Structure 1
Amino acid sequence: MRRSLFFLSVLAASISPVYGLPSEQAVGRRDEAEKPLGPDPMSTIFNGVTVPPMKELRGPDFEESIKEDYCIIIPIAGTAKLLRQSGKRYMNFIMLTSNPLLSTTAKKAADNEKSLNSFHGYYGFHFASLNCAAYADKCKELGIVGYPRFVLYHKGKPFDTFSKENKGMQELSTFIEEKLEMIKPGSRPPGGVNLPKPGDKEGQMILPDKDKAEGNSEPEKPTKGNSKDASKGSDDSKGSKDTKTSKDPKDSKNPKGDKTPVQVPTPKKEVKEKKYNLSGSSVSLTAESFLKLVTTTQDPWFIKFYAPWCSHCQALAPVWQQMAKDMKGKLNVGEVNCEAERRLCKEARISSYPTMHFFRGGEKVQYEGLRGLGDLVNYANKATDVVGLGVQYVDAEAFKKMEETEEVIFLYFFDHATTSEDFAALDRLTLSLVGRARLVKTDSKELAERFRISTWPRLLVARDGTAKYYTALAPRDMRDFRAVLSWMQSVWLPIVPELTATNARDVMDGKYVVLGILNRQHNEDFVQNKRELKNAALEWMEKQTKLFQLERQELRDAKDLRIEEADDRNDQRALRAAKSMRITIREDDKKQVGFAWVDGIFWDRWVKTTFGVDVKNGDRVIIHDESNRRYWDSSPNGVDIMPSRTSILETLTHIAASSPKLKSKSTVGFFEHIFFTTRTFVSSHPFITLALCIVTIAIASLWAKRQIRRTRTVTGKLGGSSMGFFHLDGKEKGLFSSVGSGPSNGKVD
C-alpha cells in the first residue's frame, strides 16, 4: 500500500498539480490565508489551476536565495518583448513547481513549499530567473556571458549547465528529468513529460512508457549497486532512466546501511577575470594596431597622444612608464606618436600635447587632471573599477552607507519594464563620471518612497541629502546620451567642492562663486567654517528654488487671466493668442551662484596676488566673478565677509541682484578692467549695444561729411577759381608768387 501511494505521489510530480485534484472544489478548500490579494498578471491558468510566475532573484540576495537544496537559474537579458516570449516558454517548467502536489490520501493542498506534498519539498529543487540586464554586475561575477543558459546550483555552488542554443525545450526537459531522477532515483515517470506548448490552457503531460507501448513489460535489469533496492521495491525502480544518485541533504542518512555509490556534486571552477597589460609597459600604437586592439574591442585602454619635440611630453614620459608598470594586470596602457600617426591623431581630434584619453570600445573620455604619478594611478584605478563593475546595484541600506562617503551620487530607478536599451544608454555614462561622481541603480521600493518616485525609469542626483531630478518627458528621453550627460555636468559638483586645478573651470566659469579661504591646519575652525559654508549654500538654493517657483506661478496666473478675459469677451483671436503663450522661464536664465572653498595655505601665493588676502590673519570669504575679473570682500556694513551664513547671505543678496548694489574690486589692471566691463555689458544687453553701435556709426558719418565739406570750402578760397592747391601760370609764378608784390597790373604808386 505504501509503495502504491508513493508511486502516485511521484507520478504527480511530473505533471501539473491539477492532476492531484478530483475536481475544482479542491481549489476552493484552500485556507483563506493562502489566497492572494489579486490575480498576478504574470501567472497562467492550466487545467483550471493558477500556475504562479517564476521567482525572480535580486542580485544582492542571490547567494542567500540559493544556499540550500538545488536551484536552476535561468539568466535572462534582452528587450521587453524577448523577455515576455521567454517567460511563456519557461512557464512550461514552472508548472512542475506549483502547489499542491497531492497524493490520493491527501485531503488538502500543502501549506507551503517545504511540505513533502509539494514539488519543492519533495525534490529540494527550485526554478528561478536572474535578469542580467538589471543585474549585469552579478551576471558578470558569475561568469554568465551567453543566452540562453541554464545553470544548476547545489548549496550555492554551480553544479551543471545547459547552454545548447540550437536545442528546444524537450532537450531542456530531458536535462531536468535526469537531475530529478538523480536526486530521487525511480521517482520520475518512465515515459517522460509531455510539455504543453506556450499558451495551452489544458493537456495531458505524462508520456506513455515506451516499453509498455511496444508490448515489452520486462523491467530493466538493475545494476549491481542497486540490486538490493530493486529486490525490495520493484515498483519504485521500474522505468528508471538513470541509476546514479547524489548526496542529497534529505537522503544523507541511510538507516539500512546500503552501499550504494554516491555521486557528490563537484562545483564548477569560477570564471577568472580577464587580465590586461601583462607586460606592465606602455604599448606604442599605430593606426592599424589602434583599430585592432582599441576600437574593435571592449578592452579598456589609457592612451597618451604626444609629439617627440614637446617638452611637456618629454617630462611626462618617465611618469607614464611608471604608471603603466603600476597598472600591470589591471589596465592596458598605450601611446601614440602624432608625428608618425598624423591621420590617427586628427581623427581623435588631438589639438595639444600631451593629451590623454581613456578608451573603451568606440567611447572615450579625456583626462584633464594633474600629471603626477599619484594622480594618474588614482584616475586609472577609478576608471578600472567603473569598467569592471559597471553600474552597480544598491538597496536602501547600501545607498545609506554610500551617502556617508560620497558627496555626489547619481541614482537610476528601474523596474521590470525597463529595457536593455535603457541599461545600455546608462552604461555609456559611466566613463564620463570617472573621478567626479558615482552612478548606481536600484529598484528598491524603500528608496522609491523616500525620493517619491512614481514613474520609471527615473534619474536623480543626491547631494548632501538633497535630490535634484532629471526632467524626461518620455522614456526615450532617458536614452538621450548627450542630453543626460549635459544635465549631469551641471550638477556633478558637490554643493561646496574644494577648488583645485582640475575643477577650477567647472567651479568658476559663468557664475558668482562664494569662495571660502580656509586654513586646514586649524582643525576645529576648519570643520566649523566648512559647515557654515554648506548651510549657507543649502539655504540659498532653497530660497532661489522658492523664488523661481513663485515667479513661474505668477506668469502662469497672468496667462490664465488673459484666457479668462478673452473668453468673457468672446474674443477668439485674443483667446488663441493667450493660449499660445509659452512659459519659457528657466532657473539657468539668471546668473547662477556657486559655493566652494580653497586651501589658503596651499594656494597662498594665488590668494595673496589675486585678492590680497593672507589666511594667516584668519579665514575669509570672497564672492568672485571670474567672467568679469572682479570680486567683493566686504559686506554691506563695510566689514570683511566672514565664514558665517548670516554674513554670506546678507552680502550675496545685494550682489546677485540685476545690478549689484555693492562696489566691486578688480583682479586685473585698468585697461583690462574696461575691456571685461564692456564685454559683460555687450553680452548682457545685446539689443542696446546694437542700437548704440548704429547711433555711433550715424553720428560718425555725419561728422565725417561735415569735415569733408569744410575742407573743400577752405581749399576753394585758397586756390581761387581753380579750387586747387597749386596754380602755376609760368615758371616764376606759383601759389605764393603774388605775396609781397604790387597789384596785378604792375602799377606802383
Structure 2
Amino acid sequence: MRSLLISPLIALSFAASVFAAPPIKADAPALPPSNFARDAVSNAARDAPDAPASPAKDPELKGETNKDPVTDGADSGPKGTVFNGQSVPPIPELSGTTLDQDISKGTWLVEFFSPYCHHCKAFAPTWQTLHEFYYTSDPLPASNKESSHSLNSFTRYYDFKFAKIDCVAFGSACSDHNINSFPTVVQFKDGKEVERKVGALPMKDEVKWIESMLETIKPGSRQKDGPKLPKVGANSSPDFKGAAVVGPAKEADAIAEATKSTTSTTSTKSLLKATKIAKETANPAGTSVPLTAETFQQRVTTTHDPWFIKFYAPWCHHCQAMAPSWHAMARDMKGKLNVGEVNCEVERRLCKDVNVKGYPTLIYFQAGERIEYEGLRGLGDLISYASKAVSAGDGVVDVDAAAFEALEKDEEVIFLYFYDHATTSEDFQALERLLLSLIGHAKLVKTKDPALSARYKISTWPRLIVSRDGKPTYYTPLSPRDMRDFRKVLGWMQANWLPIVPELTSSNARDIMDHRLVVLAILNRERKEDFVIARRELKSAALEWIDKEIQAFQLERQELRDAKQLRIEEAEDRNDQRGLRAAKQIRIDMNEIDRKEVGFAWVDGVFWKRVAQLTSGEFLRIHIRISKSVNSHAMRS
C-alpha cells in the first residue's frame, strides 16, 4: 500500500509548488533588446537578401505620418477568406503608432511577429485558422450572422479581437512591450497585458488558452470539453454542415421540409423511431416555448417528444440570472430538442402537479418519463446536458468488441448490457427506461458479441456490468424480475456511475462526498506530465484499495457463512430441531453491515485558486475529513 495513503495528496492546503506556472520555452531565437528596430531590419536584410524590403512605418525610422490604426482588408492589403460558409475579414494589422490606443478597450490577442522569422511563417496558418474559427463561432446562435457588428457575433459577445503587429516595421512599439522573441502572442485587457505565450504553440494549446480567457470573460459560456477543432488550414470546423448556413428563405424551406417529413411518418409505433422523427423537427424556431397547462398536456404529456422545460417565477433572482443562458441554449438546440418554460405564478396548479419545490426547476421529459436536472446552470453546462439528452434519443446503441474498445478510450464509465436471441421485448423496454436517468452521468450500450461475452466471462443472458476505467463490476441479481426492476437496477447504477477517480466539482460533490471518506488529491492540470503521473498514481492507489476491499468483503461474507454452518451442525449434533430451524433461517445480508466507504477524487487546484482570486476568497470551501481510523485501517491492509 505504498501509494494507497498518498499522504502528500491528502493535504488540503495549496502549496506554492502546485500553482507555480510551468516554464515556457520560446520556439524562436531571442532578439537583443538594444536598438531593436534597426537591428531587426538589418538582421532581416542579412537573413533574406532576396526578399523585398518592407516599407518602414515606424516614425523613428522613416518619420511616417499618422495612418489608420487598423488595416482590415483594403484593396491593396490582404484579402478576406471564407470559413464555415461565412466571409471572414483579414486579421487586423495594428500600427505601432496607435497600438496602445487600439487595444485600450476590450480583450485583444495580439501576435508580435517578423515576416522573416521561420517560426512565424510556420505559425501563420495556425493563427489564421484560429481567427477564422472563432470569428465564425456563434455564442448565441442566430439564423444569420454576416457582420461583426451583430450582437450575436463572437466579437461583440465577448468583446474579443485577434490582431497582429509587424515588429520589423514597428520595432520600437514591440520593444516598448518587451518583445524579445518571435512569435510572441500577448493577451491585453483594456490596454494592460494579462498573459503572454512565447513561441509557436500547437493549435490545441492555443485553443485551451483562449477558452480559459473566454470562460473568464463570460463564466459558464464555454463547454467543459472544449470545441471541436478544425485542422490547420481547413475552411470549416468538424461539426459544420453546409445546409446550416442558409438565408431566411432557405431556412423556411428546410423547416417546411422537416414538417412534411413528420406528416409522412406519423404512423410509426416505435418509441425509438418516434424520437428520431421528433429530433428532426424539434424546436424549429430555436426558442424556449411558453407553456400553459393546456399546451403542456397536448405537447408534452400525451406525446413521446422529448422536452427540456424550465419552471420559474418572474420575481426569482436565480431565474433572472439564468434566463440569458437558458434562451441561448434554446437557440443552440434549434432543430434538435424542444425547449419550453412554465411561469409558475400563472400556472400554479400545473407546477404543483409536477411537484416543483423551488425555482428554477429544470426537468427533462420524454415518453411519460421525467428526470430533474441538478447540474450547473451555465450556458456550456446546459448545452452539454441537452446535447447528451439528444444523443440518448437514439436509444441504447448496439456495439461489438471493436466499437466498445473505441468507446473505452473516450468514456470513463460504460454500462454494458449483454443479451442473446432469447432476450425478450420486456427486457429491452426495461433497458430503454434507464437511458433517461443516465443522461450526463454515463454511457449505456448493449451487445451480443461473443468476443465481449468471452472477455467478461458472461455465461447467462441477459447480464449487466459496468466498466470503470476498464475494471468490471457486475450486477449480481440474475432473475428476470430483478433485471427488469427499474428502481433496483437504477440504484445499482447510481452507486457505480462515478469514475474510479472522478474530478470533484460542485455538480457531483454530493455523489462523491455523501456517506463516505474521501482521499482528495489537489492537482495542477496545467502541468501536463505531472498531472498525468499524479492521476495514474492516484488511480493505482484507488484500484489497489478496491481490490483490498473486495477481498475483505468476501472474507467477511465467508466468515458469516461459516458461522451459520457451524450453528446448523451444532444443532444437528444436539438433535435440536428448533435450533436447527432457527439456524437455517439465518439470512446473510451484507448490506446490513455498516461499512464506511472510502472514495478517491481529485480537484483542479489552479481553477479553485483563480475562483478565490476572482471572488476575493468568498467561494465554496470544501472540507474533507480523513479520520485516523481510515489511515490505520489502510496501514493494516
Bin for the TM-score computed over the shorter chain: 0.5 to 0.7
Supply the AA of the counterpart residue of 1:419: T
Q: Helix, strand or coil for the counterpart of 1:603?
A: helix
Report the Cα distance in structure 2 between the residues aligned to 1:362 and 1:401, rounded to whole angstroms: 33
SS in 2 for 1:589: coil
For 2:321 and 2:486, the matched residues in 1 are separated by: 36
Aligned mates of 1:272, 1:558 — CA distance in 2: 59
Name the structure 2 match of 1:361: 367
**Could you tell me how far 1:605 is from its partner in structure 2?**
7.4
SS in 2 for 1:359: strand
Q: CA deviation at 1:604?
A: 2.4
1:147-296 maps to which residues of 2 (within 5 A)? 274-296=280-302
Is the 2:427–2:484 Cα contact (8 Å) retained in structure 1?
yes
Residue 498 in structure 1 maps to residue 498 in structure 2: no
The DSSP-based 3-state class of the residue aligned with 1:430 is: helix
> Alpha carbons of 1:398 and 1:289: their partners in 2 closer, same or farther (altered >3 Å)?
same
Deviation at 1:568, TM superposition (A): 2.3
Task: Say which of 327, 330, 333 aligns to 1:327.
Answer: 333
- Cα distance in 1 for residues equivalent to 2:435 and 2:416: 12
- Any conservation in 2 of the 1:600–1:607 contact (CA below 8 Å)? no
Opposite residue 326 of structure 1, the aligned amino acid is D
Q: Which residue of 2 aligns with 1:418?
A: 423
Query: What residue number does 1:352 align with?
Result: 358
Partners of 1:384 and 1:438 lie apart in 2 by 13
1:654 correspondence with 2:602: no
Deviation at 1:274? 3.1
Distance 1:630 1:336 in 2: 42
Give the 5 Å matches for 1:555-570: 555-570=560-575
Alpha-carbon deviations, 1:161-202, whole Å to 9, x = none?
Answer: xxxxxxxxxxxxxxxxxxxxxxxxxxxxxxxxxxxxxxxxxx
Cα drift, residue 364 of structure 1:
1.0
Show the counterpart of 1:311. Answer: 317
Q: Quick one: which of 379, 382, 404 aligns to 1:376? A: 382
Aligned position for 1:298: 304
Letter of the aligned partner of 2:316 in structure 1? C
How far residue 432 of structure 1 moved from its aligned partner, in angstroms, is 0.8
Distance, in Å, in 2 between the alignment partners of 1:485 and 1:479 is 10
1:399 aligns with 2:394: no
Higher relative contact order (CA 8 A, sep 6+): 2
The letter for the 1-side match of 2:383 is: V
Equivalent residue number for residue 480 of structure 2: 475
1:391-470 paired onto structure 2 within 5 Å: 391-470=396-475
Deviation at 1:474, TM superposition (A): 1.2
1:597 aligned to which of 591, 602, 606: 602
What does the per-residue CA deviation read over 1:551-588, in whole Å, with 9 as the maximum and x for residues that have no partner? Answer: 11111112112212222232222221221222122387
Cα distance in structure 2, aligned partners of 1:410 and 1:385: 16
- Partner of 2:465: helix, strand, or coil? strand
1:630 is aligned to: 625
1:437 Cα shift? Answer: 0.3
Deviation string 1:701-734 (CA, Å, 9 cap, x unpaired) is: xxxxxxxxxxxxxxxxxxxxxxxxxxxxxxxxxx
Tell me if the contact between 1:460 and 1:467 (Cα under 8 Å) persists in the aligned partners.
yes
CA contact (8 A) 1:516 1:596 kept: yes
Q: Tell me how far apart the structure 1 counterparts of residues 533 and 597 of structure 2 sit (CA, whole Å).
A: 25
CA contact (8 A) 2:286 2:333 kept: yes
Instruction: Provide closer, same or farther for how the CA distance between residues 144 and 444 of structure 1 changes in structure 2, counting only shifts above 3 A.
Output: farther
- Give CA deviations for 1:5-26 in whole Å, capped at 9, x if unaligned: xxxxxxxxxxxxxxxxxxxxxx
Cα deviation, residue 361, structure 1: 2.2
> Following the alignment from structure 1 to structure 2, what is the Cα–Cα distance between the partners of residues 450 and 585?
28
Partner residue, 1:100? none
Q: Is the 8 A contact 1:408 1:461 kept in 2?
A: yes
Q: How many Å separate the matches in 1 of 2:351 and 2:380?
A: 27
Taking structure 1 as reference, are residues 557 and 427 closer, same or farther at Cα in structure 2, changes over 3 Å only? same
Q: 2: CA distance between counterparts of 1:370 and 1:349? A: 21
Aligned to 1:511: 516
Change (3 A) 1:606 1:283: closer
SS in 2 for 1:593: strand
Distance (whole Å) between structure 1 residues aligned to residue 267 and residue 410 of structure 2: 33
Give the Å deviation of 1:144.
Answer: 12
For the structure 1 residues 306 and 655, does the alpha-carbon distance in structure 2 shift closer, same or farther, using more than 3 Å as the test? Answer: farther
Do the aligned residues in 1 keep the contact of 2:318 with 2:359 (CA within 8 Å)?
Answer: yes
Change (3 A) 1:147 1:380: closer
Letter paired with 1:557: D
Aligned equivalents of 2:302 and 2:278: distance in 1?
A: 23
Give the equivalent residue in structure 2 for 1:43.
none
Please report how far the alpha carbon of residue 547 of structure 1 lies from its aligned counterpart in structure 2 after TM superposition: 0.8
Query: Is it true that 1:584 corresponds to 2:589 in the alignment?
Result: yes
1:630 maps to a residue whose letter is R
Q: 1:563–1:575: 8 Å Cα contact kept in structure 2?
A: yes
Q: CA deviation at 1:653?
A: 4.0
Q: 1:631 to 1:593 in 2, by over 3 A?
A: closer
Alignment identity in percent? 62
User: Can you list the C-alpha shifts for 1:262-296, whole angstroms capped at 9, x where unaligned?
Assistant: xxxxxxxx999731111111100000000100011
Tell me, what secondary structure is at the counterpart of 1:536? helix
Residues 411 and 442 of structure 1 are in contact (CA less than 8 Å); yes or no, is this contact kept in structure 2?
yes
- Distance (Å, rounded) in 1 between the aligned partners of 2:568 and 2:611: 57
Aligned to 1:602, the other structure's residue is in SS state helix
Per-residue CA deviations over 1:299-329 (Å, capped at 9, x if unaligned) read 1111101000001111112221111111111
TM-score by length of 2: 0.54
Equivalent in 526, 529, 537 of residue 532 of structure 1: 537
Structure 2: give runs of 5+ residues left out of the alignment. 1-261, 271-275
C-alpha contact (below 8 Å) 1:519/1:526 kept by paired residues: yes
For 2:558 and 2:588, how far apart are their aligned partners in 1? 10
Structure 1 residue 471, shift from structure 2 partner: 2.2
What's the offset of the Cα at 1:603?
1.4
Quick one: which amino acid aligns to residue 400 of structure 1? E
Is the partner of 1:274 in helix, strand or coil?
helix
Residue 430 of structure 1, CA deviation: 0.5
Contact preservation (8 Å) 2:311, 2:361 = yes
Distance in 2 (alpha carbons) for counterparts of 1:593 and 1:570: 45
Contact 1:548–1:587 (Cα < 8 Å) also in 2:
no
- Of 444-453 and 505-514, deviating more is 444-453
Q: Which SS does the other structure have where 2:281 is aligned?
A: coil
Name the CA distance, whole Å, in 2 between partners of 1:534 and 1:652.
18
Cα distance 1:606–1:271, how it changes in 2: closer, same or farther (>3 A)? closer
Cα distance in 2 for partners of 1:546, 1:517 equals 29
Distance 1:272 1:574, change over 3 A: closer
CA RMSD, aligned part only?
Answer: 2.9
CA distance, structure 2, for counterparts of residue 324 and residue 290 of structure 1: 17
Contact kept? 2:518, 2:625, Cα under 8 Å: no
Residue 508 to residue 588, structure 1, CA distance change in 2 (3 Å) = farther
1:415 CA drift (Å):
1.1
Asked if the contact 2:441–2:498 (Cα under 8 Å) also holds between the matched residues in 1, the reply is: yes
1:514 partner letter? V
Q: C-alpha distance in 2, partners of 1:573/1:407?
A: 52
**Equivalent-residue separation in structure 1 for 2:391 and 2:367 (angstroms):** 16
TM-score (norm 1): 0.46
Q: 2:345 and 2:415 mapped to 1: Cα distance?
A: 41
Q: Which amino acid aligns with 2:351?
A: C
Q: Tell me whether 1:486 sits opposite 2:481 in the alignment.
A: no
CA distance in 2, matches of 1:414, 1:314: 48
